Amino acid sequence: MKMTMRWFGEGNDQVPLEYIKQVPGVEGIVWSLHDVPAGDEWPMDKILEVKEQADRHGLNIDVVESVNVHEDIKLGLPTRDKYIDNYVKTIEKLAKVGVKVICYNFMPVFDWTRTNLFEEMNDGSTALFFENEKLKNIDPMELVNTISENSEYTMPGWEPERLEHLADLFEKYKQVTEEDLWSNLQYFLERVIPVAKENDIKMGIHPDDPPWSVFGLPRIITHKENLQRFLNLVDDSYNGLTLCSGSLGAHPNNDVPGMVREFADRIHFAHIRNVKTYDNGDFIETSHRTEDGSVDVYEVVKAYHDKGFTGYARPDHGRHIWGEKCRPGYGLYDRGLGVMYLWGIWDALQRMTKKVSN
């Protein structure tokens, strides 16, 4: 297992690279060019800038998260081909600096969705929270107006420059069914996967977060059967998964350790985190410790270990603890603790394996 940590770039992150380097066992950063709009070809000079920054601290840039997919591709519009062409050119550039995995998602309009970015927990820490009933009963366009007046709201997909286009996007997606989305995803994969294979970059789709429809928008990367259907769209080892235990684990019917065992040879990137789920559909992100949430993180890590996983992993989201002021979900402290918890499980499993073999 190759351990990494998400980094949002100099001037865009409160976590310096020298701090990430000090977390035991972390080999690289998971990065992106966050100022490049979805659908644009990535400039080589900006890619090289990130590589130079990481090189100074002895960290690799093997994993990119994300090269975002333009909405026209998801919608299947005639303009999608030019955006796929740009995606292909970006893959070719990333290969030149040694990138090995691209994580992306195919969620319409929004990335991960939460109703509270800093929900207070019993111990005084805060975490990302999803209140099911609140989101189910809200008019998304009313929410857009609320967010427009609140510059502190930083949910992915709700950035101020995107808000003015949301009404148009919602109108377009009224005509898009889940089957349409599957078809548009297959079209994208059939263009992109051969290029990724030629450039030795593995593509890992991220599950929908949460793994059910939000605001009536179609979502399809949600459970075991759909993961298998996705892999069958282009049955090639370069077409794989970013398996996120927190996203999939938000639905109590999803057996995450079982999915790891089922799809291990097609998992290119492991997002490992925990969530506490409730009977009413609410969930809150917790520490990585198994006992604190509803995901059996021990069994998740054991599944990776038993299957001989040698791919990339990261501790994914964490709580906000010890007064740290940070990007929602991405404080250094709790993610650092998460890394050590994951390594603790892994090292113990390694030790037990050696004892059995001896």
Q: Which of 104, 238, 298, 330 is catalytic?
A: 330
Is the pLDDT reported for residue 152 higher than 70? no
For the stretch 330-351, pLDDT in tens is: 999 999 999 999 999 999 999 9
pLDDT, average across residues 139-164: 57
pLDDT-above-70 percentage for the chain: 93
Can you give the residue range of the structural domain that contains 94? Answer: 2-357
Kindly report each contact of residues 126-129 with a partner whose C-beta sits within 8 Å and lies 24 or more positions away, as own/partner: 126/319, 126/320, 127/284, 127/285, 127/286, 127/319, 127/320, 127/329, 128/284, 128/285, 128/317, 128/328, 128/329, 129/282, 129/283, 129/284, 129/285
Q: What is the pLDDT of residue 154?
A: 45
Q: Which of 317, 320, 333, 334 is catalytic?
A: 317
Q: Which of 209, 244, 320, 333 is catalytic?
A: 244
Buried b (16+ CB within 10 A) or exposed e, 303-334: bbbeeebebbbbbbbbbbbeebebebbbbbbb
Is the pLDDT reported for residue 355 higher than 90? no
Question: Quick check: is 316 catalytic?
Answer: yes
Question: Quick check: is 244 catalytic?
Answer: yes
Q: Which of 2-16, 27-41, 235-249 has the lowest mean pLDDT?
A: 2-16
Q: Which of 13, 208, 316, 334 is catalytic?
A: 316
Q: Which of 271, 288, 305, 320 is catalytic?
A: 271
Distance, in Å, from the CA atom of 30 to the CA atom of 313, rounded to the nearest integer, reads 10
Q: Which of 62, 72, 206, 334 is catalytic?
A: 206
Question: Quick check: is 165 catalytic?
Answer: no
Q: What is the dihedral of CA 259, 263, 264, 267, to 10 degrees?
A: -100
Is the pLDDT reported for residue 12 higher than 90? no
Q: What angle do CA 77, 81, 165 make, to 5 degrees?
A: 45
Is the pLDDT reported for residue 357 higher than 80? no
What band does 31 get if pLDDT is binned at 50, 70 and 90?
Answer: very high
Q: What is the dihedral of CA 103, 106, 108, 113, to 10 degrees?
A: -40
Q: Identify the residue with better confidence: 64 or 14.
A: 64
Question: Quick check: is 317 catalytic?
Answer: yes
Question: Quick check: is 103 catalytic?
Answer: no
Quote the number of domains for the chain: 1
Q: What is the pLDDT of residue 149?
A: 53
pLDDT, average across residues 151-156: 47
For the stretch 180-220, pLDDT in tens is: 999 999 999 999 999 999 999 999 999 999 999 988 899 99
The structure's pTM equals: 0.93
Distance, in Å, from the CA atom of 40 to the CA atom of 36, rounded to the nearest integer, reads 7
Is the pLDDT reported for residue 20 higher than 50? yes
Is the pLDDT reported for residue 156 higher than 60? no
- Output the domain CATH number for residue 203: 3.20.20.150
Widest distance between CA atoms in the chain: 65
Q: Identify the residue with better confidence: 113 or 254.
A: 254
Q: What is the pLDDT of residue 153?
A: 43
Question: Quick check: is 330 catalytic?
Answer: yes
